[in-house]
Structure 1
Amino acid sequence: MHVARFTVAYWCILIAVLLPIGCAMLAKRGSFSMNKDNRDPRRWLAQQTGWRARANAAQANSYEVLPFFIGAVIIAHQLGASQTPLDMLALAFVFLRVLYIVMYVGDMPMARSMIWAAGFAVNIGIFFLGYH
């Protein structure tokens, strides 16, 4: 019997998948009514301003970066990348994504853009980690 071994990088994928849900919860926190607003939550979110709108935008961006991150981790595993560097880069990506969300919600656009670029660079590093 073969038992799959979840690497740290695989666990990071799960965390990255949960981050947009956290952004949505943050955007809705304290103001969203399940009885009234849940009938059309996208319209409710589209009408938000300030930090709630930025949390919603961070949610959208968090979904947008998922395919590349998931693909990069899987490709690195398939190509036999060294596990420790792969795990460290995956952790760095998740850490950068959390910082990105904080900077987005906190209205720090320059820092947010720099962190996004760093996360993209980390993803490229993951993608090529198994290249020989």
Structure 2
Amino acid sequence: MTTVLWLVLIAAMLPVLCAGIAKYGSKEFDNHNPREWMGKLEGWRARANAAQSNTFEALPFFFIAVALAVYTNAPLDKLHMLMIAWLLARLAYVWFYIRDKSTLRSAVWALSLGISIAILFSGRI
């Protein structure tokens, strides 16, 4: 069970990673008005910020799917594998988003959604 908790924590840190990427190396970052500053970003920084938003949107379903998988006594090795696959897919999603690879980004987004659905039913399949 400890591995599940660590994987949940890692997933929760993905938006922080995206925000850090968007801000990385910028001398103009305005910590007094970060949302306004982020809203004016362009290029790869804007895409990193968009990846942050999408990651926040994906997390609730992932977290609920994991909780229900645990509740329905999903085999932990299977759950761990699916959670790691989701994390890798979401990291690929962020990478493709920042690199402006929209088709690959969308394909990996669909894959990660499918993995979340697999996690949801992993205690029943």
Question: Could you say whether these structures have the same fold, taking a TM-score greater than 0.5 normalized by the shorter chain as the test?
Answer: yes
Alignment pair present for 1:49 and 2:35: no
Letter in 2 for 1:26: I
Distance 1:66 1:89 in 2: 15
Task: Name structure 2 gaps, 5 residues minimum.
Answer: none
Aligned residue in 1 for 2:16: 21
Q: Write out per-residue CA displacement over residues 78-97 of structure 1, whole angstroms, 9 at most, x where no aligned residue.
A: 00111111100000000000
User: 1:131 Cα deviation (Å)?
Assistant: 2.0
How far off its partner does 1:24 sit? 0.4
- For residue 9 of structure 1, report the CA deviation from its aligned partner: 2.7
Q: Bigger CA drift: 56-65 or 8-17?
A: 8-17
Across the two proteins, how many residue pairs are aligned to each other?
Answer: 125
1:126 maps to 2:103: no
What is residue 53 of structure 2 aligned with on the other side? 60
Q: For residue 32 of structure 1, report the CA deviation from its aligned partner.
A: 4.5
* Alpha-carbon separation, structure 2, partners of 1:81 and 1:20: 27
Distance 1:72 1:25 in 2: 27
- Aligned position for 1:76: 69
Query: Please, which runs of 5 or more residues in structure 1 have no aligned partner?
Result: none
- Report the aligned-residue RMSD: 1.2
Q: Does 1:9 align with 2:4?
A: yes
Residue in 1 aligned with 2:88? 95
Within 1, Cα distance between the matches of 2:27 and 2:53? Answer: 18
Shift of 1:33: 4.3
Runs of 4+ more than 4 Å apart: none
